[in-house]
């Protein structure tokens, strides 16, 4: 049995094919002439709050949100409770009981074996990001002896879950790595071959962007140079060490210019921005309140335009969601006390498509590169090459038909089915995520993920909406 997507368009070649997806429960054909098949979206920056803050999100709800948004692989940030630093947890520390009760030593072990522990099957692939400093406290660098074994390699010593969910990056996301330990962290990165994902911003006071909006709100502001200071500091150290640094959620014109110059030097620098920085300025705070509060904060309209320009000229390598769930009660605390962050997995592609493609800044193909091909490359993966699968010499392809189940390695085929021009309304109350903290609720957008395919099997779909 299978679902056949008839006359679907291949994202990068424009070829029209029939795509056959094995399915145990249905044998149907779908008119897919208005749809596009592309490699699955990948997100190198998500927070699933599990373990330790499962009142906000869990691995189950976070992965369901990712699959619904067209994502096939995500990288989980280390600000779990306890922090994902590889150290053995001890009874009595916050969040430790769940890990110890599951028979695990640390957060990495717990998340790698989450499906067995909770008797669930998660619908997306995921990798893990280890802390740069112990406990994410910024005082001592983590020690490779605590986490290097969990990196890719030594497969003959590992079980399938450890192989499937390796540690592939390092970060103290939520905080920049403090200067006193930065060289030691760079040394760990260089020794192990990881890359550093840097939260490139630091401020001691302030809640929103410094400027007319912060003055109108009567809230202390965060200057734009709090971001540039970390970006420039890290670039200078990259220049002398050759360590690969990936800057997260870049949001200011001055930071993009510094990154642009560093890339022109040939330095191993990559960067991402997030949908909210290209869709919203700090003026949105006046309309959406704390639903638009995040860190780095939404910046000026000039910075928003600079973000779009940096995407258009290739300075930005990829777009990540920084999916950050919080409860309604937490977000109701006001600008000074409400936590930073918004959710984004289920509407990210549509928001970006509406602003960037409909706005005439980039093509559909470039957006898929920014949200699929490039983040996959950062994480050491290869996006599924549909054109290669269609090679007429391959057993899985006959003329215009691609049967995923007959491919040489069906377990590797991760795809998304998109309605690039389809208009729809974002409705947060229909999200799979446990959280609802988004300023995009009610937005009219274009670009809809209809089905997510992982390992040649349907992981998530809303095919009924095609009628």
As annotated, the active-site residues are 322
Q: Which residues pair with 19 in a beta bridge?
A: 5, 402
Q: How many residues does the structure list for the chain?
A: 467
Give the ranges where 89-194 is alpha helix by DSSP (H): 96-101, 107-112, 114-118, 144-147, 160-164, 179-192
Greatest alpha-carbon span in the chain: 66
Q: How far is CA 123 from CA 63, 163, 320, 404, 459, in A?
A: 6, 17, 19, 18, 5
- 156 dihedral zone (left: phi>0; alpha: psi -120 to 50; beta): alpha
In this structure, what DSSP letter does residue 87 have? P
Chain centroid to CA 415: 16
How far is it, in rounded angstroms, from Cα 176 to Cα 214?
Answer: 23
How far is it, in rounded angstroms, from Cα 251 to Cα 294?
Answer: 11
Please, are residues 5 and 415 in contact by the beta-carbon 8 Å criterion? no
Q: What is the DSSP string of 196-260?
A: EEE-----SS-SEETTHHHHHHT--EE-THHHHHHHHHHHHHHHHH---EEE-S---HHHHHHHH
For 446-456, letters b (16+ CB in 10 Å) and e give bbbbbbbbbeb
């Amino acid at each position: 049995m299978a679902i056949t997507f008839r006359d679907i368009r291949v994202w990068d070649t424009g070829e029209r094919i029939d795509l056959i997806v094995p399915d145990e429960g249905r044998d149907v054909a779908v008119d897919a002439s208005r749809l596009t098949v592309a490699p699955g979206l990948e997100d190198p920056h998500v927070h699933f709050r599990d373990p330790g803050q499962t009142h906000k999100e869990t691995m189950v709800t976070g992965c369901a949100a990712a699959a619904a948004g067209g994502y096939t692989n995500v990288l989980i940030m280390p600000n779990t409770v306890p922090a994902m630093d590889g150290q053995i947890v001890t009874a009595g520390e916050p969040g430790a009981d769940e890990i110890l009760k599951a028979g695990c030593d640390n957060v990495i072990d717990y998340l790698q074996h989450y499906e067995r522990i909770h008797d669930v099957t998660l619908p997306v692939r995921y990798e893990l990001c280890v802390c740069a400093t112990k406990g994410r406290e910024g005082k001592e660098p983590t020690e490779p002896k605590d986490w290097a074994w969990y990196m890719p390699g030594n497969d003959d010593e590992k079980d399938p879950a450890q192989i499937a969910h390796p540690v592939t990056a390092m970060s103290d996301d939520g905080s920049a790595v403090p200067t006193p330990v930065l060289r030691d962290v760079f040394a760990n990165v260089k020794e192990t071959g990881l890359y550093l994902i840097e939260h490139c911003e630091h401020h001691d006071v302030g809640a929103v962007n410094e400027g007319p909006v912060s003055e109108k709100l009567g809230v202390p502001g965060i200057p734009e140079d709090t971001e540039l200071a970390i970006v420039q500091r890290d670039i200078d150290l990259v220049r002398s060490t050759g360590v690969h640094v990936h800057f997260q959620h870049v949001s200011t014109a001055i930071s993009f210019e510094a990154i642009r110059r560093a890339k022109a030097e040939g330095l191993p620098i990559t960067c991402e921005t997030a949908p909210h920085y290209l869709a919203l300025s700090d003026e949105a705070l006046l309309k959406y309140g704390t639903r638009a509060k995040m860190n780095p904060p939404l910046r000026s309209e000039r910075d928003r335009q600079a973000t779009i320009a940096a995407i258009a000229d290739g300075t930005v390598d990829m777009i990540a969601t920084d999916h950050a769930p919080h409860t309604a009660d937490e977000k109701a605390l006001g600008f000074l006390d409400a936590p930073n962050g918004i959710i984004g997995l289920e509407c990210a592609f549509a928001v970006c498509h509406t602003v960037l493609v409909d706005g005439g800044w980039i093509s559909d193909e470039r957006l898929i590169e920014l949200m699929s091909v490039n983040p996959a490359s950062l994480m050491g993966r290869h996006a599924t090459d549909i054109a290669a699968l269609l090679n007429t010499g391959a057993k899985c392809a006959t003329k215009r038909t691609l049967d995923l189940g007959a491919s040489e390695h069906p377990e590797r085929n991760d795809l998304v089915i998109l309605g690039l021009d389809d208009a729809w309304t974002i409705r947060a109350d229909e999200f799979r995520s446990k959280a609802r903290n988004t300023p995009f609720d009610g937005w009219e957008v274009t670009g809809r993920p209809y089905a997510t395919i992982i390992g040649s099997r349907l992981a998530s779909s809303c095919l009924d909406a095609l009628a």
